[in-house]
Every structure is written in structure tokens, then in C-alpha cells.
Amino acid sequence: MNKFGGYPRFLAIAYVISAAHTPLFFRFGWVATLIMFLLSGIVFGTTFFFLGLISSRIRLRSFFVQLFVQTVLVCLNIAVSISIVGVVGAAVLSGTSLFDAVLYRNLLGMIEPNFAVGAILLGLLFAFGVNSIGAISRKLGPGVLWNWMTGKYYSPREEELIVMFLDMKDSTTIAESLGTLRFSSLVRDFFADLTGPLQKTGARVSHYIGDEAVIYWFPKVALKKAACLELVPLFEGVLTLRSNHYVEKYGFVPEFKAGAHIGPVVATEVGEVKSEVVFHGDTLNTAARIQGLCGEEGHGFLVSGELANRLESTGYALTFLGNRLVKGRVKEIELYAVRPI
């Protein structure tokens, strides 16, 4: 997966919205209607795609400042997109040049001040509402807000998940060397840089434990595209790109180890004061034990045989290391080391 992998999705959404207002142009003929449909979709799809790339890189300390900045960016994006579509559309429908000053004077003359003010306020309100929901959902994690609203995990339910434990290497030694505050800053940067790989592979985070993240995928997509394997090299790539930042700030580039397993997990919502969806079951214990074997086995990424045998397509070499008995299990597990081909 690459950073442009989401572009077709933005285009598809833009064209669905464009189709809703396309009938407004029927009176100008089918050629004009088709042109406006294609133009609206490509402009809104492209501008919102790049807005998404920009917004994902903006990290501000205050939640409200972040929300305000993103709301302004959305409004500006809508204004620019509408202007482009309006000007080009008017030029096509009237048969005039884009560089004709009369065209722009006529368009400005068609704008009612009261309508413009109302449209701006409505746009701000809409953008603020959408961004508020999006920001809260982002803070809680993908799907969490919807699951709470629908009560999906109000009662315990069993699901099959791919679970990964990802942990910073030598964290105890690093913490002693850096001190508490600088180590906490390192962990913050470390997990902030994990965000991109998580989003690109469709992963979700169950919770963070110190310098360790418990990550999971639903098997339907992750098995077919080997997304659970792709996360590791993607994250390694991000850390490499950000190596100068880490060296300048901390004196080294952090490394990590990961272990993954697939199996049934019981998920349920717990707590009334601070609600949280928690996972229980042997699958989590096994994934954690597999990650714990990385040091002993001399590999940075290990997976179980159950997971390795169910991957439908992969560009990775899976090396069988033998059977291992891990704490908490009666039966041995097949252990595989993973590396890109």
C-alpha cells in the first residue's frame, strides 16, 4: 500500500456527491451535464485527498486549536473547489475563455451578499460538526465511537482477530539513559510515527502499555493483503525517514520487535466512569509470548503457524523456526520469522 492508495476512495465519494447535483445542469444539455459531473468529481476528490494528506501531518498541542485549524482548512478547501468548478463550468456553458474578465464580473454580479454570508456560516457549521466527530473518533480509534453508539460490545462477544504486540527494544536501558521526561517524549514520538502505518494497513489499536502497543486486524482483509505483515516494514521505513529527528533529539533511532497470532478473542465494554472495550482470551496471551521470544530467537518479527498458514498472498519470506512451548499454553506453537523478500 502507498500513500496514494486512498485517492480512488476520495474520487468515488466525490462522484457520488457530484451525481446528486448533476440534474441541475440537464437543461444545458447532456454534454454540459457530463462535463460538470466529471469536473466536480475530479476537483472535489483531488482537493479533499490532498487536504487529508496535509491534515494528517498537522500535530498541534491543543485539541481545540487542532479542530479550529482543520475546520478552517475544510472551509477553504470547499471554497476553492466551488470556485474552480464554478468558473470552469461557467466558461464551458457560456463558451467563453477562462481568461475573459467579463466572465468573472458576471459571476461576481450573480452573488447575493446575504446568500454568501449564509453559505459561509453554514459551511463553517458543517465543517466544525464533521471535524468534531472525526477528531473525537480519531482520538478514540477507528470504529470505537460507532461501536459505543450502537452498543456492539455492551455484552461480551467472540470474534476472530489477528493480534500483534509491538514493543520498543531495550526500553528499560533507554529509560535509564534518557530519564523519565525525555523517555516519555520518545514514546510519544514513537507512537505518533506509528500512526501512518496503522492507517495504511487498516490496523486498530486496542491499547498502549508503556512503550508497547496492542494492535489488531479483522482477518477478512488483513489475511488477503498480508496487512498484518506489512505494518512492520512500513513502520521501519518511517523511523528511517525520521532518523535525523531521533538522532538530534535522543541520540539514536529507536527499534522495535513484534509478534502476531490469530484466533478467537472475547471483546466487551467495561467501566461506567471510563468506558473501554477490552479483549480477553488465549490469543492475546499467545501473541504477547511470541513477541517475547524475539530476543531469544534473534528476529525482530515473529508470527505463529496458525497465522502464517492462513495468509493468502504475501511478499514476505516466512522461515520456520520450529515448535515452541509458550507460557500459558499446553500445546506447542509453530514459530515463523518474517522478513520482506
DSSP state of 25: G
Amino acid at 93: L
160: nearest Cα among 284, 332, 277 = 284
Looking at the DSSP bridge assignments, the partners of residue 164 are 215, 260
Closest CA to 229 of 215, 240, 243: 215
| Torsion angles phi and psi, residue 266, rounded to 5 | -95, 125
Beta carbons within 8 Å of 299's beta carbon, 6+ residues apart: 321, 337, 338
**Grid cell at residue 312:** 493468502
DSSP 8-class letter at 208: E
pLDDT value for 190? 95
**Single pTM value for the model:** 0.68
Q: What is the C-alpha separation between 219 and 263, in angstroms, rounded?
A: 10
Biggest alpha carbon distance in the chain? Answer: 82
For residue 264, list its beta bridge partners: 160
Question: Are 189 and 214 within 8 A, CB to CB?
Answer: no
Could you give all domains of the chain from N- to C-terminal order, each with its CATH number?
7-140 (no CATH), 144-340 (3.30.70.1230)
| Dist CA 242 CA 96 (whole Å) | 49
201/223 Cα distance (integer angstroms): 11
pLDDT in tens, the chain (341 residues): 334 347 887 888 888 877 776 776 677 677 777 877 888 888 888 888 887 777 666 666 666 777 777 778 778 777 888 788 778 777 877 777 877 888 777 777 777 777 667 767 777 777 777 777 766 666 666 666 666 666 676 677 888 999 999 999 989 899 999 999 999 999 999 999 998 899 888 898 888 888 999 999 999 878 877 888 999 999 999 999 999 999 999 999 999 999 999 999 988 877 666 666 778 888 999 999 999 999 889 899 999 999 999 987 777 888 999 998 888 777 889 999 998 87
Q: How many of the other CB atoms lie within 10 Å of CB of 180?
A: 9
Check the CA dihedral 128-130-135-137 and report its sign.
Answer: positive
Locate 172 and state its grid cell: 528499560
What does the alpha-carbon distance between residue 242 and residue 197 come to, in Å, rounded to a whole number? 14
